[in-house]
Amino acid sequence: MIGFSGSYAPDDVVFLLKTIDLAPTALSERERLIQTGQAHYSEMIGPEDPPSPRYLEVFHQAVEENGPALARLLADLAAVVAARPGPLTLVSLARAGTPVGVLLKRTLERFFGRPARHYSVSIIRDRGLDENALDHILGAANRPDSSVIFVDGWTGKGVIARELASAAERYNRSRGTRVSPALHVLTDLCGEAGISPSCDDVLIPSSILNSTVSGLVSRTILNRAYLAPGDFHGCLHHRHLEPHDLSRWYVERIMTEVERLDARSPLTERRAAPLSPERRERLRRDSRAFVERLAATHGPAFVNHVKPGIGEATRTLLRRAPEVLYLKNPGAPDVRHLEILAEEKKTPVIRDPDLPCQAAAVIKNLENA
């Protein structure tokens, strides 16, 4: 069988990734290689340890406090997707999009009566979408190109949404297909997603953890020393974290909130509307202005180091070497986990009431270190 389901139920998702054995690279060495241009971030992977008890407690609090809001976003996104004619093929972007794809598939099937297939594939900044994976979906899996729906959790400043648009255009041109490049997310901070029911910077609880809420699958890897031309992009399968895995628990817990929402008012009666083009354009302008403001402060040549939004700030503090964490409202429940991470990494925290989002992080520039 091609693909695997990680620690999810086999019906929930098929990861179109190749599991490889790649030794982790220490954070300081990864940053040096990335910032000196000697290696791309996707060629390396860092070690992953279990979350601390304190941090795990914050995750569970986030699920309890934000679960109902997440259920509403899922229901609204599902209502839009369910209105599409024809078969549905969810293609989530591993790995932040994977839990969302699992939840969206279950919501579509259970409450809208819309069967869906769900695959999770790799997309990498400056490297594009895994075309071998998409070939498999449209070829061996025999899914129509019109059925493909790309899914992620959120947008930060829109890098992946733009990467997907370029990748889909190249793919369609080379294959003669008509795969839609529209990215479907729960919340679109920068106006770059194709479909989103919200643009608010809300805490999506799955963003707090790494593989232990994403099927025990690592961030995706594109290192040609480990991959042949016909292979899918790579990943690590973190079996050593099985005792700490919450992937299935998280799905069941959030689906309980979706069921409660449906019991109050049937989801099929929701009339969710995607963001208007005018609203998306305003978000784009505001996002660009914000990123340029922070880049002017920390180094215009390092625009990629500015990471706006709770989700992107969380990734930065979990996986990179942060220079500073900006918070709109320190002490707010949605940024509690960020404050713990900043404390653990000894990262300065700056309160900025003018932030257009709840949080933003800046990766440390080694030239200034």
pLDDT tens by residue, 242-271? 999 999 999 999 999 999 999 999 999 988
Reduced to 3 states (helix: H, G, I; strand: E, B; else coil), residue 210 is: coil
97-153 pLDDT, tens per residue? 999 999 999 999 999 999 999 999 999 999 999 999 999 999 999 999 999 999 999
Q: What is the percentage of the chain residues whose pLDDT exceeds 90?
A: 85
**262 and 207 in a common domain:** yes
**283 and 259 in a common domain:** no
Contact assessment for residue 126 and residue 43, using Cβ atoms and an 8 Å cutoff: no
Domain boundary among 243, 269, 295: 269
Local structure of residue 7 (DSSP, 8 states): T
pTM of the model: 0.94
The residue type found at 218 is S
**284 and 257 in a common domain:** no
Residue 204 domain-assigned (yes or no): yes
- Checking if the pLDDT of 368 tops 60, the result is no
The residue type found at 200 is D
CA angle 49, 334, 53 (to 5 degrees): 30
Residue 2 domain-assigned (yes or no): no
Q: How many domains does the chain have?
A: 2
Contact assessment for residue 92 and residue 100, using Cβ atoms and an 8 Å cutoff: yes
Residue 8 domain-assigned (yes or no): no
- Checking if the pLDDT of 1 tops 60, the result is no
Cα 64 from Cα 61, distance rounded (Å): 5
**286 and 260 in a common domain:** no
Structural domain of 354: 277-368
At 294, which CATH number? Answer: 3.30.1330.30
68-104 pLDDT, tens per residue? 999 999 999 999 999 999 999 999 999 999 999 999 9
Domain boundary among 240, 269, 298: 269
Structure tokens at 39: 């290696």
Residue 354 domain-assigned (yes or no): yes
Higher pLDDT among residues 217 and 367, named by residue: 217
pLDDT at 298: 81
CB atoms within 10 A of CB 104: 25
Going across the sheet that includes 306-308, the strands are 306-308, 359-363, 322-327, 349-351
**260 and 292 in a common domain:** no
